[in-house]
Amino acid sequence: MAAQLHGSGLCFHGAVRAKLDRVTVLKGSYLMAIKAEYIWIDGTEPTAKLRSKTKILDEGQEPPIWGFDGSSTNQAEGHSSDCVLRPVKVTPDPIRGGDSILVLCEVLDTDFTPHPTNTRAKTAELAEQYAGQESWFGIEQEYTFMVGSRPLGFPENGFPAPQGGYYCGVGADEIFGREIVEKHLDNCLAAGLPISGINAEVMPGQWEFQVGPASALEVSDSLWLARWLLYRTAEEWNVSATIDPKPAKGDWNGAGCHTNFSTKAMREDYEPIIAACEALGQDDKPAEHIAVYGDGIADRLTGAHETAHFTQFSYGVSNRGASIRIPWQVEKDKKGYLEDRRPNANMDPYLVTGKIVDTVCSALEKKGLV
Ligand code: ADP
Ligand code: MN
Ligand code: MN
Ligand code: MN
């Protein structure tokens, strides 16, 4: 038995032994170790997935650069499989609690240049270039709880009553998964993420949370962490959450990620808001935007539900059938923000916020509306 324990790793090797001794001496026990959950975005196509693994840190230790096997995440070939994780945002870990932390990372190659799947790096450059315009984003993440291949609340055979009463509903006949939603909200708040609200959506088991307003990088980092917390929280109920833009076939709205946007000038004046809408509709811009707004966008933007057809660009006040909506309050106040209704639920916020900053901020700069 002793030999077996020995062989199973209970005999600490040199480095670990030394670390334990040091911690034991300093703290009187080795329970001061910190669990750091390193989270990153993988290379799965067409829609990237989140991955994570745990590193034990000493109390007070900065989360260091780390690495992983890219050949298991669609990020490298087996013969040179190492990828580098560089921490970009650290928050308290509401799942483990205590001193545990979540460490969102960007992926680098071993020469420390951004990995091809690292969409954050380019957005960081654009955000820096147009920092003077003080861009804010508020993103509405829609998602659906699934049990196997069925949305939560769908009967085993057939379909639930059609769309109508579920949006912002109340009652056990209309609401499915509220316990998970409440726990996810608490977890996001405990992690210090800038969550601004939640609501039930138009289909049973479909929900939304909003992140922001915050800068392009802050909102995007926070959205990726909020997504990770969503999947992780729902695990406890044996339910999965999906950001599939069309989780149920048939006459149901898809799932989107409406992206609300303003610059300092737009928050002060109406002319820059109209100029921003015009810039988004200029020349090839609609197609360029659609191309980075999430896989399967043609299936969601059919024109039959909630937004215009993906080939037709339009903007309008209070118009939820347009590509871009100017909220009524914004038109009344003659300042505020616009809502781009096109992005799919499965979009990459680094790509979407980067594209909007690039298109709108460059146009506003040219027109002197900054
Ligand atoms: P909807 O009426 O489309 O459902 P929501 O209330 O779900 O709108 O989401 C609106 C989002 O817009 C929120 O995340 C909010 O924080 C954000 N927002 C509010 N003001 C601004 C602004 N000036 N710039 C960018 N985003 C904003
Ligand atoms: Mn909303
Ligand atoms: Mn919504
Ligand atoms: Mn919206």
Nearest CA-CA partner of 165 in 151, 150, 179, 176: 176
With bands split at pLDDT 50, 70 and 90, how would you rate the model's confidence at 24?
very low
pLDDT higher than threshold 60 for residue 221: yes
User: Average pLDDT, stretch 122-143?
Assistant: 98
Write down the pLDDT at residue 30. Answer: 53
Q: Is the CB of 256 under 6 A from ligand 1?
A: no
> CA 89, CA 37: separation in Å to the nearest integer?
12
Q: Is the CB of 142 under 6 A from ligand 1?
A: no
Q: Which residue has the tokens 């991955």?
A: 51
> CA 73, CA 81: separation in Å to the nearest integer?
10
Nearest alpha carbon, ligand 1 atom 12: 138
Q: Is the CB of 137 under 6 A from ligand 1?
A: yes
- The residues that bridge with 208 in the sheet, in sequence order, are 142, 199
Q: Is the CB of 315 under 6 A from ligand 1?
A: no
Write down the pLDDT at residue 274. Answer: 98
Q: Domain 124-367: give its CATH code.
A: 3.30.590.10
User: Average pLDDT, stretch 2-13?
Assistant: 36
Structure tokens of 66?
A: 């780390």
- If one compares 149 and 272, the residue with the highest pLDDT of the two is 272
Topology classification of domain 34-117: Ubiquitin-like (UB roll) (3.10.20)
Ligand 3 center from residue 82 Cα (angstroms): 39
Mutate to test the pocket of ligand 1, among 135, 141, 210, 268 (most ligand atoms within 8 A of CB): 210
Q: 70 CB contacts (<8 Å, ≥6 apart)? A: 43, 76, 81, 82, 83, 107, 115
With bands split at pLDDT 50, 70 and 90, how would you rate the model's confidence at 159?
confident
Nearest alpha carbon, ligand 1 atom 26: 138
- If one compares 179 and 299, the residue with the highest pLDDT of the two is 179
Q: What are the pLDDT digits (tens) for 236-249?
A: 999 999 999 999 88
Ligand 3 center from residue 270 Cα (angstroms): 25
With bands split at pLDDT 50, 70 and 90, how would you rate the model's confidence at 143?
very high
Q: Which segment of 19-23, 78-82, 93-97, 235-239 scores lowest on mean pLDDT?
A: 19-23
Q: Supply the mean pLDDT for the chain.
A: 91
Main-chain phi, psi angles of 127, to 5 degrees: -60, -40
Atom of ligand 1 nearest to the CA of 208: 7
pLDDT higher than threshold 80 for residue 77: yes
> CA 211, CA 220: separation in Å to the nearest integer?
9
Write down the pLDDT at residue 258. Answer: 97
Q: Is 92 exposed, middle or buried (0-12, 13-18, 19+ CB in 10 A)?
A: middle
User: Average pLDDT, stretch 119-141?
Assistant: 98
> CA 340, CA 86: separation in Å to the nearest integer?
31
Nearest ligand for residue 139 CA: 1
- If one compares 75 and 79, the residue with the highest pLDDT of the two is 75
The ranges of the chain annotated as CATH 3.30.590.10 are 124-367
Ligand 3 center from residue 305 Cα (angstroms): 12
> CA 320, CA 286: separation in Å to the nearest integer?
17
Write down the pLDDT at residue 11. Answer: 36
Ligand 2 center from residue 72 Cα (angstroms): 36
Q: What are the pLDDT digits (tens) for 264-312?
A: 999 999 999 999 999 999 999 999 999 999 999 988 998 887 678 988 9
With bands split at pLDDT 50, 70 and 90, how would you rate the model's confidence at 35?
very high
Atom of ligand 1 nearest to the CA of 341: 3
> CA 291, CA 161: separation in Å to the nearest integer?
34
Name the most confidently modeled range: 158-172, 261-275, 314-328.
261-275
The ranges of the chain annotated as CATH 3.10.20.70 are 34-117
Write down the pLDDT at residue 250. Answer: 79
Structure tokens of 120?
A: 């954050």
Ligand 4 center from residue 359 Cα (angstroms): 21
Write down the pLDDT at residue 7. Answer: 33
Write down the pLDDT at residue 10. Answer: 36
Write down the pLDDT at residue 19. Answer: 52
Give the predicted TM-score (pTM) of the model: 0.92
Q: Which residues surround ligand 2, an ion (CB under 5 A)?
A: 140
- If one compares 22 and 31, the residue with the highest pLDDT of the two is 31
User: Average pLDDT, stretch 41-50?
Assistant: 97
Which H or E run contains 329? helix 328-333
Mutate to test the pocket of ligand 1, among 142, 260, 270 (most ligand atoms within 8 A of CB): 260
CA distances from 201 to 22, 65, 252, 254, 260 (A): 53, 39, 11, 10, 18
